[in-house]
Structure 1
Amino acid sequence: MVSGFSTLRNPLRALVALLLSFVLTACQIGGGPIGLGTGPRVGQTVEVAMLLPVSGSGGDALLARSLENAARLAAADVAGSATIEITVYDTAGNAATAATRAQEAVSAGADVIVGPLRSDAAAAVGVAVANSNIAVLSFSNNTEIAGGNVLVLGHTFANTASRIVTYSARQGRGNIVLVHANNLAGEVARDAVRSAASRSGATITATVPYEFSQNGVVNAVPQVVSAVRSGGNAILLSSNSAGALPLFAQLLPENGLDTSSIQMMGLTRWDIPPATLQFTGLQGGWFALPDPNATASFNARYAAVNGGAPHTLGGLGYDAIRAIAATAASGRMGSADLIAAGQIDGSGGAFRFLNNGTIERALAVAEIANQQVNVIDPAPSRLGGAGF
């Protein structure tokens, strides 16, 4: 039933740690954000190198096309205020190839790099161009690679956890049973939720890790039920629809948990694919998503130009170019300059880069009711304060 257990993609922790050690050794400076100063000065035209898995396997090539199309749509949108020239370099979905293409792009005069897709490749690219003071706007959501010259554009667990945990605490659902896989992604999710809880006043009443397999989920279900009965009033699941989420949605009610009286919550999109909305165990559940109005507007404009809907992650290409356009007026394109640009209007609403190279996005909170998605707390139009 759960087909995603064998396909979860995450970089090896050892590889990321090794690459990060090189990044931090070469790039970290004292005081202020972790970055490379102001980076290269750009002229009237910003030369953007997009590192994409054009010849990658599986669905990578389709995603690459969507990211490129979205980036070119953004370049057209900002044409009145900035001239963006985009050159695509094929990484073939390989980290070593991505690093080589990045060096070629810098030699060819690139002012900034957009991509690559995954965190191992992004970390390799960051190291490869570190001495060139070139910023890398990665499509990854892995915050472990952020910092120095690498920024992450992907939707992070930290961002989502902050939104959903803060909202749940305000609604009196702050006694949370946290359920996560015993793997790298699950541990990142666990840490994000714990950090969000410490800031919001919520309490993690129990943490239930599980082996990332069908048997692991089956064995964890009784522990989750017991933890709820011992004082939890909410369950936060870190898994997605391609992984353990459907199995938890089925087995928790079957094991005696009244999911209508406990607040079910998720760190991932529960509306993708739409079939996920049909699970009885998720009715009344909460999850976070980008501003639906902004997303619908972007999707419509993308379809009008390209003849079809973008990939779910396609909007990241649009966001990258909007961030570059917002920074171009300063005449600089380093990571510190991209951070200093502040709030940017992207494909799914407002976002900004934080001092540590991660991203904050304005998110809405939605509830599943009668197999439909209802926004119960809209995404803010402005991001407050100095970020989390």
Structure 2
Amino acid sequence: MVEGFRGIRAVAWLCAAVMSIAACDTLERTPPPQATAPEAAEPAAPVDAAGQLAAELSRAGGPIMLAGHGGGMPYTPPNDVAPGTARVAVLLPLSGRLGELGTGMLEAAQIAVFDLAGSEFELMVFDTEGSPESASEAARQAVDQGATLILGPLLAASTRAAAPWARAAGVPLISFSSDRRVAGDGVFVIGFTPDAEVERVVQHAASRGITRFAAMAPDTPYGAVVTEALRRSVDSVGGTVTHVELVDPRIPDFPGALERLTGESEAGQTADPGAGASGTATVMVPDRSIAESPFGFQAMLVAEGGDRLRSLAATLPAYGIAGGVVRVLGTGTWDEPWIRDEQALHGGWFAAPDPHARSGFVQSYTLTYGKPPARLASLAFDAAALAAVLGRGLGGTTFTMEVLTVPSGFVGSEGVFRFRSGGVAERGLVVMEVTPFGTEIVSDAPESFIGI
């Protein structure tokens, strides 16, 4: 029995071993589950933060507010991009004959930085000494020190000298000049351009029925810009420029120029008819009776300012250009408090930034420094405010062509403005009329560029 039991146990053990081996073989032959490799993620596209910012500014629906005392829409910087440092250089004549003006403009820029800049903003100051050579050296130093935007210089010649350094480094430059000829290829002009002032006042005059224009301007590059702007603007409204007199700036012969324009001598005698009028025109004068003009023009643009304007104004009545017979037009050089004292200019029109918009900046500057600002100080404030506000978003990477030329523009201390693609600032201007009590607005400035 024992042997039989041992035999049975051996057979059972053998069967179990075989079954175990078979089971193991089955397990070994079963293919392992296939692991699924994770799909490779698409490489993230580089973020064009400045492009996104420009798109957001465009969608804002209106100009961006640069100062608390102006209008416009508040700017909210993006919170998902590390801003970095906005290093902004300002180039101004802090010494030399323009030192007082340059210092006042720097003070205005510092108000903007103090009020509006974030912690990652650095204003670097350079003295151009009022010369192109020093402006060029200042621009070189600014670029070498890592400037991502240059504000200034003040003068056109200095801007031409500084621009090559900025362009070579790809750094935008916002000049305080009013000469549009220096703008373009990364250079912007924020100054008050006379051709824009001429265009605005001509449009207003045309809306009041004036179609024939004359001009008296200095025989200078400024005079050439003004008279060319007059011809272009008058042509755009379907009018005619009948007379243009360019006066020697060194020895201004206003009586001779007026005699050629009007055909009248100073004593009231008719001069050579070949040099004078070509007919009688009717001009509508608001709040006055219709006056008959014995000349071939209804309005005369006078592109003079300061003492030269005073001298010319004293001469106008002797040649019949007073009392509403001819509407006298001016440029921004008329924007002076004493203009009300020139009776011959009463009723005259000129285009300028809105004085109500400027009042907030004037008050802030006066409270800070105990004196009123120079007329051009607002340009430095607006340029620095633009840099400070935009710099809160993306630091130095903000100052791209796309952002600086956003169509909706900005609201600064002088009202709404924007840079066109050519680099020249377009501004919303009012039309002012000279009265015995000062000046008053007869045509409001636009509050935005929507539809323009």
**Amino acid in structure 2 at the alignment position of 1:229:** P
Q: Which residue of 1 aligns with 2:206?
A: 169
2:116 to 72, 75, 78: 78
**Amino acid in structure 2 at the alignment position of 1:138:** S
CA contact under 8 A between 2:416 and 2:447: conserved in structure 1?
A: yes
Deviation at 1:83, TM superposition (A): 4.6
**Amino acid in structure 1 at the alignment position of 2:356:** N
**Amino acid in structure 2 at the alignment position of 1:359:** A
Say if 2:301 is the partner of 1:236.
yes
Distance 1:278 1:130 in 2: 47
- CA distance change for structure 1 residues 72 and 177 in 2, over 3 Å: closer, same or farther? same
Q: Which residue of 1 aligns with 2:342?
A: 279
Structure-2-length-normalised TM-score: 0.71
Instruction: Indicate the larger mover: 169-178 or 317-326.
Output: 317-326
**Amino acid in structure 2 at the alignment position of 1:65:** T
1:319 to 382, 398, 419: 382
Which of the two has higher C-alpha Rg?
2
Deviation at 1:182, TM superposition (A): 1.5
Q: Which residue of 2 aligns with 1:373?
A: 439
Q: Which residue of 1 aligns with 2:228?
A: 191
Distance 1:223 1:207 in 2: 10
**Amino acid in structure 2 at the alignment position of 1:166:** Q
Q: Residues 216-237 of structure 1, C-alpha deviation per residue, up to 9 Å, x if partnerless?
A: 3231011222357342111111
2:359 to 296, 299, 306: 296
- CA distance change for structure 1 residues 83 and 240 in 2, over 3 Å: closer, same or farther? farther
Q: Structure 1 regions of 5+ residues with no counterpart?
A: 1-40
Q: Which runs of 4+ in 1 moved over 4 A?
A: none
Q: Which residue of 2 aligns with 1:122?
A: 159
**Mapping of 1:70-219 within 5 angstroms?**
70-79=108-117, 83-219=120-256
Distance 1:346 1:83 in 2: 22
Q: Structure 2 regions of 5+ residues with no counterpart?
A: 1-80, 263-275, 278-292
- Aligned-pair identity in percent equals 29
Report the number of matched residues: 341
Secondary structure in 1 aligned to 2:86?
Answer: strand
Q: Which residue of 2 aligns with 1:350?
A: 416
Instruction: Indicate the larger mover: 177-186 or 254-263.
Output: 254-263
Distance 1:315 1:335 in 2: 23
- CA distance change for structure 1 residues 61 and 231 in 2, over 3 Å: closer, same or farther? same
- CA distance change for structure 1 residues 201 and 84 in 2, over 3 Å: closer, same or farther? farther
Deviation at 1:199, TM superposition (A): 2.3
Distance 1:350 1:340 in 2: 13
Deviation at 1:289, TM superposition (A): 1.6
Deviation at 1:209, TM superposition (A): 1.9
CA contact under 8 A between 1:70 and 1:318: conserved in structure 2?
A: yes
CA contact under 8 A between 1:326 and 1:341: conserved in structure 2?
A: no
Q: Which residue of 2 aligns with 1:267?
A: 331
Secondary structure in 2 aligned to 1:247?
Answer: helix
